[in-house]
Amino acid sequence: MSRLAVNGLEYHLEEAGEGTPLVLIHGFTGSGANWRPHLAAFSPGYRVVTIDLPGHGETAAPAEPPRYSIEATAADIAAILDSLGIEKAIILGYSMGGRVALFFALHYPERVKALILESASPGLVTGQERAARIASDEALAGFIEQNGLEAFVDRWEKVPLFASQASLLEAVRTKQRQQRLRNRPQGLANSLRGLGTGVQPSLWDELAGLARPVLLLTGELDTKFALIGRQMQERLPDARLEVITGAGHTIHLEQPRQFEDVVKSFLDGL
């Protein structure tokens, strides 16, 4: 574990293994701790780096929402790689972390060897869609601030996107809940305001220019993102799409062995 200050913000990182750099980026309400069960699978042959995004885990939670923006976060990741002496890495991002990973690959292509996107999207296409999402995220941010973290997590766990997790073992669901509760209300609220899907630019039109190998992972039970994955594959010049059976949105949690096997197969083929 380490703490690293870049661009005036203190980040929390964890590292495991040696070899080709592999950077793992978690989703909203998560942290680098979500990847710990998979480190043993990936660290042989890879220098695995997990990053707590702004407002999540043990990374600082700034009071200004613009500090969470996808542009600022991508610039921070570039600075983190510089500080770690990493010239180029494979980037794996889940959900919100997948949006960050995709933006980073498109805007810092010289720093990316390959890209793995789990249940990710390039954002919303129209201004109307983005405006509606900004309003929705602002309402949710206000709920967090007014009602506290536990009430928010109760609400978040009932989102239809995570319905498939009801079949997980109680111990797995409890561990996931405990991790979410370690976040801070200000960090999650401002992450919605600064790094939500509505405020980020649409990346759809940039996909054709991404000249890197890409692995797209979607869950069979996550019909929304399975469709997005197919649409992304059509636009990307070098993309492989894997639909994971029995999984919803959070593939690495719901089907961990399938997740590891598919990711390792992709890495072995690079």
The predicted-structure confidence for 221-266, as pLDDT tens digits, reads as follows 999 999 999 999 999 999 999 999 999 999 999 999 999 999 999 9
> From the centroid of its chain, how far is CA 13?
15
What is the reported pLDDT for 234? 98
Looking at every residue in the chain, the average pLDDT score rounds to 97
Residue 250 CB contacts under 8 Å (≥ 6 apart), including other chains = 27, 94, 95, 119, 162, 165, 219
Over residues 27-35, the mean pLDDT reads 97
Dihedral class, residue 85 (left if φ above 0, else alpha if ψ from -120 to 50, else beta): left
Nearest of 31, 18, 19, 28 to residue 182 by alpha carbon: 31
pLDDT band at 129; cut points 50, 70, 90: very high
The residue ranges of every structural domain in the chain are 2-268
Q: Kindly report the CATH number that applies to the domain delimited by 2-268.
A: 3.40.50.1820
Q: 121 pLDDT band (50/70/90 cuts)?
A: very high
Task: Pick the closest to residue 207 from 127, 118, 99 (CA basis).
Answer: 99
Quickly state the pLDDT bin for 1 (edges 50, 70, 90): low
Q: Which helix (H) or strand (E) is 115 found in, with range?
A: strand 112-118
Note the pLDDT tens digit of each residue in 200-223.
999 999 999 999 999 999 999 999
Average the pLDDT over 104-112 and give the result.
98
Task: State pLDDT tens for residues 69-80.
Answer: 999 999 999 999
At residue 163, the pLDDT reads 94
What is the C-alpha to C-alpha distance for residues 121 and 126, in angstroms, rounded to an integer? 14
